[in-house]
Amino acid sequence: MTANIQSGEQKSWAETPPSTPPVRHVIGEFVENQTWLDKLANPIQQWLLGFFGQPGQPNRKLKDMLNGTWLGHSVHPVLTDIPIGAWSGTMLLDLVSLKDESDGMANGADLSLVLGLLGATGSAVTGLTDWSDLDGTDRRVGLMHGLLNGSITVMYVVSLILRRTGQRRAGIAVSSAGYLASLFSAYLGGEMVFAKGIGVNHVAFEGGSDDFVAVMNAQELVEGKLTRVDVAGIPAVVLKKGKSIYAIGATCSHLGGPLDEGTIQDGVVQCPWHGSCFRMQDGSVVNGPAVYAQPAFDVRVRDGKIELRRLEHA
Ligand code: FES
């Protein structure tokens, strides 16, 4: 219950009129509801997934490289800073050059524009690779983000041509419009990460107990079978291999897939959703698209029970 202090009336929360949804929800939901994007997304995604192939195939290594598995961090957000920063520089130098009219300022603006184009190319390739694993409304927002960025890049190319053919003011007008559009596109990129959790470590907040926790009877663990257990609220997957027992987090760090429903081969578990592979021994990534390792657990058997304790990654 809440009290109306002025009138002395009391209103229940249920009677309170709903507040206006934040702007983010309005924009986000608008893009999410654009079902026509699926028609475009389907063939592009199918082609990309066919091109990259399965783990172990040659092009899959290229996908891992573009995803950032080798870096332990997604490459796309690293590269997106280049066009945003460079084109901010273009905008600033353009403004000064309009007043100053010196060649130095104009050339500086054009150079930072070209630098932005190079960064935009890298961002597009890595972004498309990350996007190829998405589905549903995430895929729609990601595609809208990509389409906008593609259009913005074309605007900057047109601007460069105008600048180099003596139509500098027209070129500045086009790149300025592109800059404004890039702010909205950057917002959609942020929506993907902060609201939808794309590109983040999906096990980042899984703490786990510092003490050993009994999770199951040792006799019940079947050799070679992935078994899901609960470690004080954290899902883990356990595997018995010979005399050894291994355990890592059961929620895939990529997009939250259930590793206990995956497949196991040579001590490596493969996520059923997008094929990321992790070593059961220590949770390390064997191949992407995951870029973050799985939480690993210390395992011991006491009084017939399997006990797990969270291991910190080196
Ligand atoms: S959720 Fe994508 S690979 Fe596991």
Give the model confidence (pLDDT) of 20-68 as tens digits: 666 667 777 888 889 999 999 999 999 999 999 988 888 999 999 999 9
Does residue 257 have its Cβ closer than 6 Å to ligand 1? yes
Which atom of ligand 1 sits closest to the CA of residue 252? 4
- Mean pLDDT across 162-167: 94
Distance 189 CA to ligand 1 centre (A): 20
CA pair distance 70, 65, nearest whole angstrom: 6
Give the model confidence (pLDDT) of 103-113 as tens digits: 888 899 999 99
Distance 202 CA to ligand 1 centre (A): 10
What residues form DSSP beta bridges with 58? none
Give the model confidence (pLDDT) of 201-249 as tens digits: 998 888 777 889 999 999 999 999 999 999 888 899 999 999 899 999 9
Name the helix (H) or strand (E) containing 272.
Answer: none
Q: Whose CA is nearest to atom 2 of ligand 1?
A: 274
Q: Tokens 């309005």 label which residue?
A: 26
pTM, 2 dp: 0.84
Which atom of ligand 1 sits closest to the CA of residue 271? 4
Distance 3 CA to ligand 1 centre (A): 48
Does residue 247 have its Cβ closer than 6 Å to ligand 1? no
Does residue 140 have its Cβ closer than 6 Å to ligand 1? no
The phi-psi region of residue 296 (left if phi > 0; otherwise alpha if psi is between -120 and 50; otherwise beta) is: beta
